[in-house]
Amino acid sequence: MQTPDSLSALFKQKAELVSAVVKEVKTPHEALQYAIDVCERKENCLSLMPALNEPPDANPAKIIAAPALDATLTDAMRALCEKNNIRFLTSGLREHLAGIDIGLTFADYGIAETGTLVLDSSSEEVRLTTMISEIHIAILPQSKIRPDAYHLEDELGKNMRSYPNYTAFITGASRTADIERVLALGVHGPLELHILIIPEPEKERT
Amino acid sequence: MQEAKNLKGYKKEVDDALQNEFLRTAMDNFAVAYRTGRANAFAGMDVEALVADIAAAKDAAIARMDELFEEFKTNAEKIGLKVHRAETASQANAIIARIAKENGVNKIIKSKSMTAEETLLNHHLEADGYEVTETDLGEWIIQLRGEGPSHMVMPAIHLSRFQVADLFTDVTGEKQDSEIERLVKVARRELRKAYVEADMGVSGANFALADTATIGLTTNEGNARLVTTLPRVHVALVGLEKLVPTLHDALLVNRALPRNATGQGITSYVTWITGPNVCGSAPDNKKEMHIVFLDNGRRDLARDPVFAQVLRCVRCGACANVCPVYRMVGGHRYGHIYIGAIGLIITYFFHGRDKAENLVQNCINCGACKAVCAAGIDLPRLIKEVHARIQDESGHPLTSLLMAKVLRSRKLFHTLLRSAYLAQKPVTDESHYLRHLPFVFAQEHNFRRLPAIAEKPFRDRWPLLKTAVSDPEMRVALFSGCVQDFVYPEQLEAAVKLLSDRNIALEFPTDQSCCGLPLEMMGEKKTTREVARQNINAMSSADCDYIITLCASCASHLKNGYAKLFEHDETMTDRVRRFTSKVHPFSAFLHDILKVKADEFKPVPVKTTYHAPCHLCRGLKISEAPHALIELAGLDFRPAQEEETCCGFGGSYSSKFPNISSQILSKKLDDFKKTEAEILVTECPGCIMQLRGGVKKRGDNLKVRHIAEVLAESKRQTE
């Protein structure tokens, strides 16, 4: 019998096999702080279209995009970004196609068998956030982890019937083995994928 | 691409490819790594059941192709998604060009699509003045080089990092070093601008779900996501065979596709797109979205009782990954646009006879592709079927006709073999190898020494060997096959020795002839069936419980091949079923039916390795029995790497493509050498001819023996 904990452990193991970073956080606010910390530690995003950008800034601000957080979390994130001198975006991602530092999203579901995140990305802002960020950080409630994709057929079917729809399965960072079959991460999508699992609250467990 | 005018031209191209050292090393490494990666990816899963489920689901969808198309179209139109169906490749290209024109498109970006390769879409769009950029790294590389893909999943697998570095240096105008990580970043940087500037994105699709008009795309790099998101127009070019009724079918296929393709549990991205989504670059903030379904022969194929199953193909590329010939010559010589075993077949249907007729002869019939196919397609058989069909359409070559004529009459065939013994006399040496090649053999065979025809075939020795058993426990009929009867009768004698003292009535029905597999390999289907009928009659006359054969190829052909040959002939159904159920290869008969025991043998701990004949390990799925027998006989068993890879014989293949055959052989002999074995055991006279000939030519210190011979030698004499 699969318990939430065993599913979560399997999810973690499978996601790590494809180089995802998997952590547990107690609350969404802890996840926000995690995003800030990762952003602080990383080098500035490399502009993929230098010519299209403004003249190089000597000390450009890093960018975190989180277009789909609820109002409370958005406010909290904005405050954290301000405090750390990070630019915070909730929309207008098309203005930043040269690349951003961090994209922060929730995941709708996790698939344990393959360490996969499922994200309804019908919002173009969400879609771009997961595509053009150098590091994609996704928050995944433990209760949303399913054993395999078959267990999500109803949910996915619902997405597909509420057209238009763009649903993404995301497993690890963008990758290629097109040159000499050598694995390299970060081709056209994120260089890194971090998954923050939020355990179920105690009361739901009993 | 197939440009060769005739078989000679094609062979020349193949021989050139064999000289490519980088390609050979890359392919060797890949072949070994793939096997491990695939096994890990499927660990703990019931692969056979999964493949059977996929085959059934795809068959059901193929049978309803038109219906599913209509369902998809109806559902699509409700959500503003425009659906087209193109009868031909050029029609598909024209539709896409028209969409581009109507939408005032200048620049186009593409994600990987084999279907677009099939229609040569880029050529068409570029000729119409559009700037088209491929965004999959491998596809971009080959586009910049003006080449076609050499693999369906890894299109640039034929290139080294150094070649890519040189290419990127030219493209960027800056010196690029050859570190792969950095080369990938060059693509990341160079292509981002192309995504942003493009007005139209063209993708393929792995799945088209009829019930919701959803398309599914599996990718690793993330390029398809940008291609389907950034530009204001999206066109997906999709083969009609990608239509499935529901998401469930797609999820089913997707359990095998990435595991079989690259040993991944799932690709980095699987994208499900239903209808035109929000698009910030479109005037009304809504994507202009089109699906172009491609027929190009698929609807006819779907109705073809023999070939419909090729439409099950999920384009994982596994059939190329395990193919010993692909491994030697690479994809540009092992396909036209579609590569590997499936390419050998569908080239005929999608690109025509002239592109397929040489290609289709380059199958060694080892069955490695069939064993890994995600959709259970009987690839080797269908390759032979295409070959036969092409010969029926455009005429049979003289050698093939001649062989058919000879083999139709057992007496004529055996008379010719007997006279060949006399003709070869001046050119054999004491070791019973042909000292020089008789004129009938071309110089190209000389990569191995060929054995001589025996002075006295087994059929002439049999009357002296035969013993009467009064009240037998079982009746067994021996099917010799031509090679053992006329070249290696001692192998059959060894078998007779092993079966003596067991209360077995052994028969050798003398009306038996060649099993017919060589004829089938040459595309002579009609005679193949005639010869099969003769053998069924001959063997049935013995009224036996078991039919055993020491030749793995004969065994597999008698058991599986005959069943297929008569599958549509109801008058033969019962006879064929009775016949095939009695057929057993020698090692399986000894191990599984006679259940021989270790105390029947005197242990001789000589280092011994084993070659698994293709038609035994894959054709009949027998891998363990020969291992067990080697150990029961007390030999010191040293398994070789890639034990189940073909030795390169393939019957007439080795005379048609001697240079490929010789390279495959040489790799095998290297693997055996590493085991330090003194004896190499196998269970097929064809393999023995190839391996012994190679050992003799190289002067390796290795005795190549049939398993019956080593067992007979170790057998304890009964008191």
Residues of B in contact with A122 (CB under 8 A): 277-278
A115 lies within 8 A of chain B by CB: yes
Alpha-carbon gap, residue A13 to B104, rounded angstroms: 48
Select the residue from A116, A134, A171, A188 to test the B interface by mutation, using most B Cβ atoms within 10 A.
Answer: A188
The mean per-residue pLDDT over the stretch A176-181 comes to 92
Checking phi first, is residue A145 left (phi over 0); if not, alpha (psi -120 to 50) or beta? beta
Contact B676, B606 (CB under 8 A): no
The mean per-residue pLDDT over the stretch B409-414 comes to 89
B74 lies within 8 A of chain A by CB: no
Beta bridge partners of B610: B681
In whole angstroms, how far apart are CA A21 and each of A108, A186, B525, B590? 18, 14, 58, 54
- pLDDT of B432 above 80: no
Q: CB-hemisphere CA count at 13 Å for B309?
A: 20
Matching residue, tokens 């490494």? B29
Q: How confident is the model at residue A206 (pLDDT cuts 50, 70, 90)?
A: very low
> What pLDDT, on the 0 to 100 scale, is given for residue B718?
64
User: What are the start-end ranges of the E strands in B622-669?
Assistant: 636-637
Alpha-carbon gap, residue A154 to B144, rounded angstroms: 44
> What pLDDT, on the 0 to 100 scale, is given for residue A51?
61
Contact B553, B590 (CB under 8 A): no
In the stretch 61-90 of chain A, residues with CB closer than 8 A to chain B read none
Angle at A57 between CA A51 and CA A62, to 5 degrees: 100
> What pLDDT, on the 0 to 100 scale, is given for residue B424?
72
Four-residue CA torsion sign, B554, B560, B565, B571: positive
Contact B260, B47 (CB under 8 A): no
CB contact under 8 A, A171 and B268: yes
The mean per-residue pLDDT over the stretch A42-53 comes to 80
- pLDDT of A53 above 80: no
Alpha-carbon gap, residue B57 to B54, rounded angstroms: 5
The mean per-residue pLDDT over the stretch B324-329 comes to 94
Amino acid in the structure at residue B380: P
User: What are the start-end ranges of the E strands in B413-482?
Assistant: 474-479
CB contact under 8 A, B189 and A48: yes
Contact B48, B373 (CB under 8 A): no
- pLDDT of A58 above 90: no
| Those residues with Cβ within 8 angstroms of residue A107's Cβ, 6 or more apart along the chain or in another chain | A117, A118, A119, A138, A139, A140, A144, A170, A195
> What pLDDT, on the 0 to 100 scale, is given for residue A10?
97
Q: Which CATH architecture has domain B66-299?
A: 3-Layer(aba) Sandwich (3.40)
Lowest mean pLDDT among A42-56, A79-93, B116-130: A42-56
Alpha-carbon gap, residue B553 to B613, rounded angstroms: 8
- pLDDT of B52 above 60: yes
Angle at B259 between CA B257 and CA B265, to 5 degrees: 110
In whole angstroms, how far apart are CA A52 and each of A90, A99, A135, B171? 22, 12, 22, 19
What's the pLDDT tens digit per position in B103-113? 999 999 999 99
Select the residue from A187, A192, A193, A195 to test the B interface by mutation, using most B Cβ atoms within 10 A.
Answer: A187
To the nearest whole number, what is the mean pLDDT of chain B? 93
Contact B650, B661 (CB under 8 A): yes
Q: Which residue in the set A49, A170, A184 is minimally distant from B196, CB to CB?
A: A49
Count how many residues are written for chain A. Answer: 206
Residues of A in contact with B230 (CB under 8 A): 97
Token pair of B382, please?
A: 């269908």
In whole angstroms, how far apart are CA B650 and each of B70, B552, B639, B662, B685? 45, 12, 22, 11, 11
> What pLDDT, on the 0 to 100 scale, is given for residue A205?
44
Lowest mean pLDDT among A118-127, B61-70, B205-214, B405-414: B405-414
Of B222, B209, B217, which is closest to residue B73 (Cα–Cα)? B209
Instruction: Provide the CATH number for the domain formed by A4-45+61-200 in this structure.
Output: 3.40.50.10420
CB contact under 8 A, A186 and B185: yes
- pLDDT of B670 above 90: yes
Beta bridge partners of B228: none
The mean per-residue pLDDT over the stretch B423-451 comes to 61
Matching residue, tokens 């060694």? B364
In whole angstroms, how far apart are CA B718 and each of A118, B274, B476, B599, B712? 70, 76, 21, 11, 13
In the stretch 30-59 of chain B, residues with CB closer than 8 A to chain A read 30, 33
- pLDDT of B43 above 80: yes
Residues of A in contact with B157 (CB under 8 A): 180-181
Report the share of chain B in percent with pLDDT over 70.
97
The mean per-residue pLDDT over the stretch B502-524 comes to 92
- pLDDT of B98 above 80: yes
The mean per-residue pLDDT over the stretch B217-230 comes to 97
The mean per-residue pLDDT over the stretch A184-196 comes to 96
Furthest CA-CA distance within chain B: 97
Alpha-carbon gap, residue B492 to B478, rounded angstroms: 9
Q: How confident is the model at residue B651 (pLDDT cuts 50, 70, 90)?
A: confident
Angle at A116 between CA A110 and CA A118, to 5 degrees: 60
Contact B196, B230 (CB under 8 A): yes
Token pair of A10, please?
A: 């399997």
What's the pLDDT tens digit per position in A137-160? 999 999 999 999 999 999 999 999
Q: CB-hemisphere CA count at 13 Å for B202?
A: 29
Question: Which of helix, strand or coil describes residue B573?
Answer: helix
How many other CB atoms sit within 10 Å of the CB of residue B515? 26
A113 lies within 8 A of chain B by CB: yes
Alpha-carbon gap, residue B279 to B283, rounded angstroms: 9
Lowest mean pLDDT among A31-35, A131-135, B3-7, B368-372: B3-7
CB contact under 8 A, A188 and B223: yes
H/E run at residue A166:
strand A165-170
What's the pLDDT tens digit per position in B114-168? 999 999 999 999 999 999 999 999 999 999 999 999 998 889 999 999 999 999 9
Select the residue from B22, B184, B196, B218 to test the A interface by mutation, using most A Cβ atoms within 10 A.
Answer: B184
Contact A7, A203 (CB under 8 A): no
Cis omega (within 30 of 0) on the bond before A164? yes
Task: Please tell me which residue of chain A has the smallest CA distance to B154.
Answer: A178
Q: DSSP labels for B284-321?
A: TSB-EEEEEEE-TTHHHHHT-TTTGGGGG-----HHHH
Q: How confident is the model at residue B428 (pLDDT cuts 50, 70, 90)?
A: low
- pLDDT of B431 above 70: no
The mean per-residue pLDDT over the stretch B196-200 comes to 97
Report the share of chain A in percent with pLDDT over 70.
92
Alpha-carbon gap, residue B318 to B371, rounded angstroms: 10
Instruction: Provide the CATH number for the domain formed by B596-714 in this structure.
Output: 3.40.50.1860
Angle at B491 between CA B486 and CA B495, to 5 degrees: 125
> What pLDDT, on the 0 to 100 scale, is given for residue B25?
87
Token pair of B117, please?
A: 């390769």
What's the pLDDT tens digit per position in A18-27? 999 999 999 9
Matching residue, tokens 């052989």? B665
What's the pLDDT tens digit per position in B515-538? 999 889 888 889 999 999 999 999
Q: How confident is the model at residue B426 (pLDDT cuts 50, 70, 90)?
A: low
A147 lies within 8 A of chain B by CB: no
What's the pLDDT tens digit per position in B624-649? 999 999 999 999 999 999 999 999 99
The most confident of B289-303, B390-404, B425-439, by mean pLDDT: B289-303
In the stretch 11-40 of chain A, residues with CB closer than 8 A to chain B read 14, 17-18
CB contact under 8 A, B193 and A52: yes
For B241-253, letters b (16+ CB in 10 Å) and e give bbbbbbbbbbbbb
> What pLDDT, on the 0 to 100 scale, is given for residue B704?
97
> What pLDDT, on the 0 to 100 scale, is given for residue B583?
97
Q: How confident is the model at residue B455 (pLDDT cuts 50, 70, 90)?
A: confident
- pLDDT of A94 above 70: yes
What is the rounded end-to-end Cα distance, in angstroms, of chain A?
16
Contact A188, A133 (CB under 8 A): no
- pLDDT of A17 above 50: yes
| Those residues with Cβ within 8 angstroms of residue B300's Cβ, 6 or more apart along the chain or in another chain | B349
To the nearest whole number, what is the mean pLDDT of chain A? 93
B282 lies within 8 A of chain A by CB: no
Lowest mean pLDDT among A83-97, A183-197, B26-40: B26-40
In whole angstroms, how far apart are CA B680 and each of A131, B380, B692? 55, 27, 9
Of B95, B65, B78, B66, which is closest to residue B275 (Cα–Cα)? B78
Closest Cα of chain A to B472: distance in Å?
A: 55
Q: Which residue in the set A149, A161, A166 is minimally distant from B251, CB to CB?
A: A149
Closest Cα of chain A to B266: distance in Å?
A: 6
The mean per-residue pLDDT over the stretch B415-419 comes to 84
